[in-house]
Amino acid sequence: MRRLLPLLLLAPLLSALPGSPGQAAPAPPPARAARYEAQIRWTEHGIPHITADDFGSLGFGSGYAAAENSICTLLDTLITGRGERSRWFGPSARYRDQVTLDATNLQVDTVVGDLHNRRVVEKLLRSPAGPRPVTKRMVAGYTAGLNAWLARNEVTDPACAGEPWLKQKATPVDLWYGVYLANLLASTGVFVPQIADADPPSLDDPGLPEVPVSAADVDVDALLTALGRDPEAPFGSNATAAGRAITSTGRGMLLGNPHFPWRGRYHFTQQHLTIPGEYDVAGASLIGSPAVNIGWNKDVAWSHTVSTAYRFTPYEYRALGPTTYLTDGGPAQLERRLVKVRVRTPGGGLRTVTEDVYRTPQGYVVDSPATLMPWSLTSVWAIRDANAEHLRTVDTFLEMGRATSVRDLLRRQDAMGGMPWVNTTAADRAGRVLYADHSVVPHVTNEMKQQCLTPVGLLLDQLVGLPGLDGTFAGSRCAWGADADAQRPGILGPRRLPEAFRDDWVMNANDSYWLPNPAERLEGFPTIIGCERCERTMRTRMVSQYVIDRIRGGRKETPRSFRGHQYENRLRAAEVAREGGALDRLCARTGEDEACRVLARWDGRSDADSVGTHLFEAFIAAAPADALWKVPFDPARPLATPRTLNEDSPQLVAAMQAAIDGLRAAKVPLDAAWGDLQVAGDRGADPLPLGGGTGDAVGNANALASRFPVQNRDRYRPITYGSSHIQAISFLDGGRLDARTILTYSQSENPRSPFSQDQTELFSAERWVRFAWTDAQIEADLLRSEVVRG
């Protein structure tokens, strides 16, 4: 019994163990609840309508849908943000973002690698200049959605199918670095090669180029090009908002057309984001943005145009030695920072190279003779970048989606403080309209500027409006100021920034803020934002003229007439040049009868079936801009001057002859239809005929350009840039709205997708997509629906 007693006492315990005879097996543990859940309803043209109960799940659905449409570019953006381009694509290959950045992969990785070494993004994520918790949750959901799509789907896009980097998982920090680099597009991003390759001068290489002594010694176009503002290849957009005083509905209307690349990091995809009862916004987002950048909700519609304001200021320091400079506190040493970069070797292996960059407390040292900022034995330049000091861009766009009026839209934008480099034009249901340049601008007042300009800095300011400040006092009297109403120190607050609220109409087409409406002048602002009483481009004049001509005589803009301006394809420079028959007489002086007959019969437009557009475009391209017009610009008549073609000018006659000769040399028929010459040039695109054409100089609002074409390169003008996500939004009675859109290069990058060319075909035919906004419209256009979890 003494031996059996322990066994008898253990028996009840043994019988309770799992799997014991007579004991039922335990229930399996409950399945882990999904952290994210979103419904994606895909409508015609591959447009995702994403519904979720919280912003993390909304981001998850957005990332999942973005991966479906743009997986190769999305992952390429994250590789860039990691500083790994040299590892995957080789150090000497070039990275062109199609906007401002043009550098080797090694140069890009050097600068991005230093950002990582300094943990710039990680620090901003924890700072008042960083994103709110709700935005962090949305970005975390977005990257989780991207990873989920990759885990569940095969990549079939030939651009990246089978690539080893598809196996890398995205993290929220990866995406935040991608967002951060987009902020730098018009500032640090312009100077990546000049930062990465900056080396101290020596006696053998003192870095002393010929310094201009006056404005007359400087090629201003070359200077602007080096600053990322190439006059021959501008980047920008149009936006017009019509208010209740001129609309047939008595409510607001918006026509927005951003001119951006048709491929790469800065192209748009369309989406519709909904949290029932809390958030409902649709429109377009740049690659890697979980929020809608340009779009509308039930009460407000908005678009953006690239602003003329500078996002940085250069500081010039007096050099005391190759790496020593003077401050008001005495000599200081440049900070040299080493960056290790993993690069792919020709044999396919990897090795590590060490690069370096230099910094002052204000920012990166640049060696940029083309912008009058060389690193020499007498001076050294560094740039301070206002967009490098925040991470509020996604917050800004996300918060704008909650707006209830145009005033509320601007108030929310200002509170977030992260509009990186664009103007805002908007219309609301009540019929009010807005133009504002409340973007991120360094706090450099005109008074401070006058105290702090160096001699070369003064030259930069006079020529291109960029103040070059004295680095000796960069930490004291020449430091950026602060405004109490700004989101953070160092940037101009809303009260110092231009805005216009009106009931009739406003517009912007990338000229400065000065003239949002012919009856309104915005003046007295810091010159770092832009010029006042300055000439407008022909594109600005055309966009304005559309509305002026429509409402002349008391007519109203209807939803149909307003959106119709997109496809009118008028050329303002041609309209001005043909006044009184001047263009025909100038052409006759060449003796080129065939070409002149074509020009005389030309309809003056850039429709696909227009004949003669190419002759006029070639003439304007060849003509000296300062010789075109007899009547110069007059600030009192900014939309009517300059005017009167200088038909007797030998320079212009020679330009017309050069245009004709150039077309003949290119074997382009003089009587060719424009659509036979100008075609889609994006990857995988058929040579679809396109209307539209050159923007600023020719005055085409439907601006298109050929930059680094990849398809149909045998055609005269294969298009890869310009009109992109176009939206025409009209608010109607009864809480309704009419949303018409076109994504010119279509929704999917994958040429194997049915949505890679369908909207391009509509754009070619000058048609619109009726964007599904209500549940009933979505159900009517529904192609498929899925619930995605992760």
Residue 582 — φ and ψ, nearest 5°? -65, -40
Give dist(CA 659, CA 664) in Å, integer.
9
Give dist(CA 766, CA 607) in Å, integer.
9
Q: Alpha helices of 155-300 — where are they, by DSSP H?
A: 172-183, 192-196, 220-226
Strand partners, 730: 253, 738
Closest among 113, 681, 511, 80 to 341, alpha carbons compared = 113
Question: How many CA atoms lie less than 13 Å away from 346 in the CB half-sphere?
Answer: 0
Element (H, E) at 51: strand 47-52
Closest among 628, 466, 461 to 537, alpha carbons compared = 628
Three-class SS state of 674: helix
Query: Can you read off the two tokens belonging to residue 353?
Result: 């190279």
Say if CB 637 and CB 701 are below 8 A apart: no
Say if CB 479 and CB 469 are below 8 A apart: no
> Of 237, 303, 439, 756, which is the active-site residue?
237
Closest among 632, 630, 651 to 641, alpha carbons compared = 632
Q: Which amino acid is at 582?
A: A
Say if CB 442 and CB 310 are below 8 A apart: yes
Is 237 marked active-site? yes
Radius of gyration of the chain (CA): 29
Give dist(CA 461, CA 372) in Å, integer.
12
Kind of pairing, strands 721-723 and 422-428? unpaired
Closest among 252, 303, 242, 243 to 733, alpha carbons compared = 252
Closest among 748, 790, 738 to 768, alpha carbons compared = 738
Longest dimension (CA), the chain: 130
Sign, Cα dihedral of 104, 106, 107, 108: positive
Please report, for residues 311, 410, 551, the alpha-carbon distance to residue 187 in angstroms, rounded to integers and kept in the order given: 6, 24, 40
Query: Can you read off the two tokens belonging to residue 234?
Result: 């501008």
Give dist(CA 284, CA 286) in Å, integer.
7
Three-class SS state of 728: strand
| CB proximity list for 788: less than 8 A, separation 6 or greater | 36, 37, 38, 39, 40, 60, 61, 64, 145, 148
Q: Which amino acid is at 597?
A: R
Say if CB 296 and CB 302 are below 8 A apart: yes
Closest among 609, 607, 585 to 599, alpha carbons compared = 585
Give dist(CA 619, CA 604) in Å, integer.
14
Residues with catalytic roles: 237
